[in-house]
Amino acid sequence: MTVDAPVAPGAAPKRRARSVTSLTRSSALGLGIALSWFSLLVLIPLALIVIQSVDGGWATFRDTLTNPQTASALRLTVTQALIVTLINVVMGTLIAWVLVRDSFWGKRLLEVVIDIPFALPTIVAGLVLLSLYGPDSPLGVNVANTERSVFLALLFVTLPFVVRTVQPVLMELDRDVEEAAASLGASRFTTLRRIILPSLAPAITAGAALSFARGISEYGSLVLLSGNLPGKTEVASVRILTYIENGNEAAAASVAVILLVVALAAIVLLQVLSAVVARRG
């Protein structure tokens, strides 16, 4: 060995440390483009909404939220979206399971049909729902102008989210792992609870977040069937539109900000929940 041998190991980590903290030219460019794009499309519009909502002073913000009609619309929207999301978590996981684990006649067809609520223009979905569950229902089920119409419409459009997020994860799941659990004495239920669900938790929460976000923002599919009765079946997005039509943009922005906060809170909550379930195992 030569004398300068000890220098090399000392120099190597220094170089390494620098490359972690500073960016190369190409990755700096990439990050720059990504951030500008994100800012233009998301951050700036969102900031504008927030600014607009307090434009008329905090009084407008408070007045809007304490307005019984708006409060009722927000309450209805959030409750229905929550219920629908809960149902989706159970049913979506179940459907994904059936699609991945079982083979049956018509499976390919079902695969395609699942995406229809997602692919359909929402107003078309609204029309479908209206003709199926409206006053002229061929099934004799008339839920028009009731809370249930909101529930049904949300259920319809959010169906694919959990299915489509859980399905690929379930497909990747190693069957060996379940067999290992079985050979160690775990019942089917224990394996499901301690091995399968923790692995699916991130996917289920991602699907739930998408489903909830879609639920609180839905407009097209429920607007026809619900009748938009103030204080009864009017949802937040309809409320925003009404405010804008009446030229009260600050109030519209206030409702929008509330929806934004609710959505963010839901996403954070779901992330925490997912981490807890995944760790519990």
Partner 1 sequence: MGIEIRGVNKNFGDFVALQDIDLSIPSGQLTALLGPSGGGKSTLLRIIAGLESSDSGTIEIEGVDATGVPAQKRNVGFVFQHYAAFKHMTVAKNVAFGLEIRKKPKDEVKRRVDELLKLVHLEQFSHRLPAQLSGGQRQRMALARALAIEPSVLLLDEPFGALDAKVRKELRDWLRRLHDEVHVTTVFVTHDQEEALEVSDSLVVINEGRIEQIGTPDDLYDRPASDFVLSFLGPVTTLGDRLIRPHDIDITRYEHAATASGRITRWTRVGFEIRLEVTPDDALRPDPVQVVVTKAEATALQLHEGDLVWLRPRVGADAVSR
Q: Summarize as ranges the residues that interact with partner 1 (CB under 8 A).
A: 174, 176-177, 179-187, 190, 194-195, 198-199, 278-279, 281
Looking at the Cβ atoms of 186 and 267, the one nearer to partner 1 is 186
> CA angle, corner 126, sides to 125 and 132, nearest 5?
90
Q: Are 226 and 189 in contact, with CB atoms under 8 Å apart?
A: no
Closest contact distance (angstroms) between CB of 202 and partner 1 is 10
Q: Are 129 and 225 in contact, with CB atoms under 8 Å apart?
A: yes
Looking at the Cβ atoms of 34 and 275, the one nearer to partner 1 is 275
- The H helix count followed by the E strand count for the chain is 15, 0
Looking at the Cβ atoms of 25 and 279, the one nearer to partner 1 is 279
Closest contact distance (angstroms) between CB of 198 and partner 1 is 5
Closest contact distance (angstroms) between CB of 78 and partner 1 is 31
Looking at the Cβ atoms of 181 and 222, the one nearer to partner 1 is 181
Closest contact distance (angstroms) between CB of 103 and partner 1 is 14
Name residue, tokens 């997602």: 118
Question: Would residue 200 be called left, alpha or beta, if left means φ above 0 and alpha means ψ between -120 and 50 degrees?
Answer: alpha
Looking at the Cβ atoms of 193 and 232, the one nearer to partner 1 is 193
Closest contact distance (angstroms) between CB of 280 and partner 1 is 9
Burial of 145 (0-12, 13-18, 19+ CB in 10 A): middle
